[in-house]
Amino acid sequence: MSAAAPLPAVPTSPGMSISPEVCEALAAGRPVVALESTLLAHGLPRPDNRAAADEVEAAVRVGGAVPATIAVLDGVPHVGLTADEVDRVCADPDLAKLGVRDLPVAAALGLSGATTVSSTALLAARAGIGVFATGGLGGVHRQSADTFDESADLVALARTSLVVVCAGVKSILDVPATLERLESLSVTVVGYRTTTFPGFYVADSGSTVDWSVDDAAQAAAVFAARRDLVPGAVVVANPLPTGEQLDPALHDRVIAGALAAAEDAGVRGKAVTPFVLDHLHRASEGATLAVNVRLVLRNAELAGQIAAALAALPR
């Protein structure tokens, strides 16, 4: 009689690989925070992105949760990456940028890529992760009336149940139009300790939101209530303190230049956001890069706290 096949060391969800640490935390009901890889691979320049990847994971741990950076490697969605896997994501200049619609192609053809807010949210929710930290959401681009360019992040958040901690939407976008779309899509949006909607690099986008939460426990409670009611995300908008924001005058100047450069270069589709962010990092001599990393770290730590508060709630 042959011996029984050994059990896999790590149980995994169908079609994805979950790291041992993340798997054990989820099985035990301990807090976990998902992190996206597009902001590393396409939003931050090499080689600074590699150090940022470690710092973001460390910030989640300071907040009280286990980090789960998500990417697709050789066709397999990975939830929680080894150091070597983070190296791959951060070093490859040709790594694909994968939204939800790209995931089946990557899976079927065995391709690798970084996951955006839309695809990270989907994969995180499927793995059973309730909280996700990023920098700024994608949204409605400023020329969208001509280009129809609206990030797939918005529709994905309408149907994916998790908390997304962000510094608002990227300020290269049309922020009021993006807030209107989030309303149409019934995505819950709350400010963290403010009703001022943040402007990514700057504390104030010029728009407001209807609701704010005072602490991580309130954010977790809002999500728990939404989860029981209807699928969809709770966006927790966490502004930088004004003392840490990008100088608003520099902000407005470099953004105008970056958008004009993208127009002149004829950049379209999913290349727009990486092109504009890269242009900003250069034009501001690294000031936007430093602020971008800082806001992601703050979001990661808050997300850790919210995940811990969520884990403490009865399910």
Which residues are known binding-site members for substrate?
97, 117, 151-153
263 flagged as catalytic: no
Q: Is residue 64 at the binding interface for ligand PSU, with CB under 6 A as the rule?
A: no
Given 57, 85, 102, 153, the residue binding ligand PSU (CB under 6 A) = 153
Among 223, 193, 191, 222, CA closest to 208: 191
Task: Choose from ligand PSU, Mn ion, none: what does 117 bind? Cβ within 5-8 Å by kind.
Answer: ligand PSU
Q: Is residue 149 at the binding interface for Mn ion, with CB under 5 A as the rule?
A: yes
Instruction: Retrieve residue 56's tokens.
Output: 């973001």
Q: Least CB distance from residue 238 to ligand PSU, whole Å?
A: 12
Q: Least CB distance from residue 124 to ligand PSU, whole Å?
A: 13
36 flagged as catalytic: yes
Catalytic residue, chosen from 36, 85, 150, 301, is 36
Q: Least CB distance from residue 95 to ligand PSU, whole Å?
A: 12
Given 31, 43, 63, 80, the residue binding ligand PSU (CB under 6 A) = 43
Give me the residue whose beta carbon is nearest to ligand PSU: 135
Q: Is residue 239 at the binding interface for ligand PSU, with CB under 6 A as the rule?
A: no
Hey, CA dihedral for 135, 47, 22, 305, is it positive or negative? negative
Which residue, 169 or 310, is less far from ligand PSU as judged by CB? 169
Given 117, 131, 165, 311, the residue binding ligand PSU (CB under 6 A) = 117
Chain contacts with Mn ion (rule: CB under 5 A): 149
User: Active-site residues: which are they?
Assistant: 36, 170
Chain contacts with ligand PSU (rule: CB under 6 A): 36, 38-39, 42-43, 116-117, 134-136, 138, 151-153, 270, 273, 277, 292, 296
